[in-house]
Chain A
Amino acid sequence: MDNRISSDVIRGHTDTIILRLLSAGDKYGYEICKLVLAGSKGEYELKEATMYSSLKRLEQEGKITSYWGDETQGGRRRYYRITEAGLMAYRQNKQNWEYLKTILDQLI
């Protein structure tokens, strides 16, 4: 299987993947990367740059908010939280994907 093509396809869904993870609870950057790697059973590595561009965009769009944690050890972490608008966007994207999947399944 061509890994590069599949990772390009996955990358197009970064926003939705992140929204889904945040719908289960607030998370910080590296935590999201780790969960994506684990969730894809090691098949897909979300690069920090890709993740942060998605996070910053989602924040500008009001779909997530962020705040600094109060860790005392090992530096501060910035946590991201999904908003109501973010949850709606996630549900919509998920629906779109399900629809797309059925069409592609019929075509391919």
Chain B
Amino acid sequence: MKTDPLKEHINRAFAPYEALKPVGELKEELYHDLQERFQDLRNQGYDEETALKMTLDSMGEISEIVSAITEKGKELQQNIHADFRASNMQDSDLSSIVAEGRNFDYSNLRKSDFSSSDLRNGSFRYCNLADVNFNKANLTGAKIKKSELKGATFDGAVLDNVDFRMSNLQSVSFDNLTLNGVNFDYSGLRNTSFRNATLINVSLRTDLKKTVFEGATMDKLTYAVLKAYKADVSKVIVR
């Protein structure tokens, strides 16, 4: 099928704002307008290429609309070029947002609510994520390196292949979760608990003396690493 350049253009222009609710309907309206404008220009005798260019030029700056449709829009507009980088969004309600592949590096997100959000492949390097709610969030492939996560919660979160290297996860609970391919190397895991969790290909090359693995199930390799790093493995289950 032939690609639709108008639709593509709209999708690209709105990509940074997808998380905002009213954007969907606005895109539909705008798409309809541009189609009609394009057809009018064609009827006036412009060739396809010129008509397309004129149509796209008529659109103007999308950020202008976004700041009008939502209170948050204004903040997002300012942060948009940095794609959330280095933003201060302390206490933000970001529950159920779709922010796949988004970059939050260097941001202060303390106490933010990311519950049930889609944060796959997101980047959270050098962030303050203390007391953040990641319950039921999908963090598959996310990079949460060198960040502060004290008090963060992950109940029911999907954490496949998450990179937690060099982050502080002190006292955080990963109880009952299935952790597949997660990397905890050099992270702070003092009093961090993995009670009844399932660990598959999890890398834990860090101090594990005060980490709780009671009732956790794991593969032999993970078990060997645990032992090497002095974890208490008296109550783990090896498969």
Report whether chain A binds chain B. Answer: yes
B67 with A75: CB separation less than 8 A: no
The CA-CA distance from A74 to B32 in the complex, in Å, is 8
B36 with A52: CB separation less than 8 A: no
**Per-residue interface assignment for chain B, residues 19 to 50, with 1 indicating a CB less than 8 Å from any chain A CB and 0 otherwise:** 00010011011111111110010000000000
Contacting residues, chain B, for A75 (C-beta < 8 A)? 28, 31-32, 35
Interface residues of A in 11-48 (CB under 8 A from B): 28-30, 33-34, 45, 47-48
The prevalent SS among residues of A at the interface is helix
Contacting residues, chain B, for A33 (C-beta < 8 A)? 33, 37, 58
Indicate if A57 sits at the interface (CB-CB under 8 A): yes
B60 with A47: CB separation less than 8 A: yes
**Given A33-B37, A49-B60, A76 and B28 touching (CB < 8 A)?**
yes
**Given A53-B67, A77-B32, A45 and B58 touching (CB < 8 A)?**
yes
**Given A33-B33, A48-B33, A75-B35, A53 and B59 touching (CB < 8 A)?**
no
Indicate if A6 sits at the interface (CB-CB under 8 A): no
Contacting residues, chain B, for A34 (C-beta < 8 A)? 40
The CA-CA distance from A45 to B33 in the complex, in Å, is 14
**Given A33-B58, A53-B65, A48 and B34 touching (CB < 8 A)?**
yes
Which size bracket describes the interface of A in this complex? 20 to 34
Indicate if B224 sits at the interface (CB-CB under 8 A): no
A48 with B60: CB separation less than 8 A: yes
**Given A54-B68, A75-B31, A75-B32, A49 and B62 touching (CB < 8 A)?**
yes
The CA-CA distance from A50 to B57 in the complex, in Å, is 13
B64 with A29: CB separation less than 8 A: no
The CA-CA distance from A50 to B35 in the complex, in Å, is 18
Interface residues of A in 35-84 (CB under 8 A from B): 45, 47-50, 52-54, 56-57, 60, 74-78
B58 with A56: CB separation less than 8 A: no
A30 with B32: CB separation less than 8 A: yes
